Amino acid sequence: MNNEILFISDLHISLEKTEITRRFLRFLKERAPQAAAVYILGDLFDSWIGDDDSTPPNDAVKTELRRLTASGTKVFLMLGNRDFLLGEKFCRDTGVVLLGDYEVIDLFGVATLLTHGDLLCTDDLPYQAFRAKSRTPEWRRSILSKPLALRLLGARWYRFRSFLHKRKKSREIMDVNPDTVVRTMREHGCLRLIHGHTHRPAVHRLSIDEQPAQRFVLADWKKDAAEVLCWNGEGYRIERI
């Protein structure tokens, strides 16, 4: 039995990003079934305005996820800053397991912390304020109670506003805060961290309490390139899809 574990994030699937959608569906059909588990660490979709949204390619993605989980490959999903309204119905429809903001797993004998990555960007104060508000049950109920058509329009506006705000921010503000990284890893008792969000793929080496540690940043998927972090008992490798 293959014990390989795959990690991906930041696909930002949408109707307009047809190449990324096709690549992901092919990944689910051909590559993912070879693994024991797949971890999707946030922003699978560019936006998600409720589990009742069947706008293409949502149904196609759900169908292939269901086929993959039914075949025996476990799929774990984290919420990102774009698709945080994914809910229980999506999980029931697909068979994926929803994870919390932080999750510690035993990755071949090493406690490994998983997160989307946005909580580590503590220098971006306006975003952190919005994040705190948008994760409350009251905010979610307010948004999800609105008609689907209105939510679709709202998602378009949110993406446009996000684009404008990013143009005004420095690269440093939108990256992780090093002190927050160390504090978070220390709080969870981990010397290995895997996350996405920043779209700056790399393997960082650091020291926590005089012990060597690693931070893996997953790549965002583009129309002409995609990467998967693959892990087995012998170590890791970066695989291009």
Would you kindly state where each structural domain of the chain is located, as residue ranges?
A: 5-240
The percent of residues in the chain predicted with pLDDT above 70, rounded, is 93
Residue 1 pLDDT > 60: no
Pairing relationship of beta strands 97-98 and 74-78 according to DSSP bridges:
parallel
* CA atoms in the 13 A half-sphere facing the CB of 127: 24
Q: 137-144 vs 148-168: helix axis angle to the nearest 10? A: 120
When pLDDT is cut at 50, 70 and 90, the band that residue 137 belongs to is very high
Q: Which amino acid is at 181?
A: V
Report pLDDT digits (tens) over 28-78.
999 999 999 999 999 999 999 999 999 999 999 999 999 999 999 999 999
Q: Cα–Cα distance between 92 and 9 in angstroms, integer?
A: 21
- Provide the sign of the torsion angle of the four alpha carbons 128, 101, 214, 45, taken in this order: negative
Query: CATH code for 5-240?
Result: 3.60.21.10
* Mean pLDDT value across the chain: 94
User: What's this model's pTM, rounded to 2 decimal places?
Assistant: 0.94
For residues 203, 43, 31, 218, the Cα torsion angle rounded to the nearest 10 degrees is: 0
